[in-house]
Amino acid sequence: MANSGTPWFNAARLKTRQLLLLLHLHEQRSVLRAAEAASMTQPAASKLLAEMEDMLGVKLFERHARGVEPTWYGHVLI
């Protein structure tokens, strides 16, 4: 992951769509259900999450077979 600054400085650059996806991921604990709640496809949600993690330089969610769990950074950002 490319880190061009501290995660918290870069967090100020997140767009509304990205923040909404973060909230849906936190509530739904599933990329598919979060994508549906955000009115986007699952691949689009996965790509958007990967872009956010790359921009921030930290992993926001751990992916598991049964869904996602926020990392420490994910909890702090949410």
Q: How do residues 49-68 score in pLDDT, each as one tens digit?
A: 999 999 999 999 999 999 99
Task: Please tell me what DSSP assigns to residue 4.
Answer: S
What does the pLDDT read at residue 14? 86
What does the pLDDT read at residue 26? 97
Domain ranges, ordered by start, for the chain: 7-77
Query: Which positions of the chain have pLDDT values less than 50?
Result: none
7-77: CATH topology is Arc Repressor Mutant, subunit A (1.10.10)
What does the pLDDT read at residue 6? 59
Q: How far apart are CA 67 and CA 72, in angstroms?
A: 17
Tell me which residue of 65, 58, 66 sits closest to 22, measured CA to CA.
Answer: 58
What does the pLDDT read at residue 9? 61
What does the pLDDT read at residue 11? 73
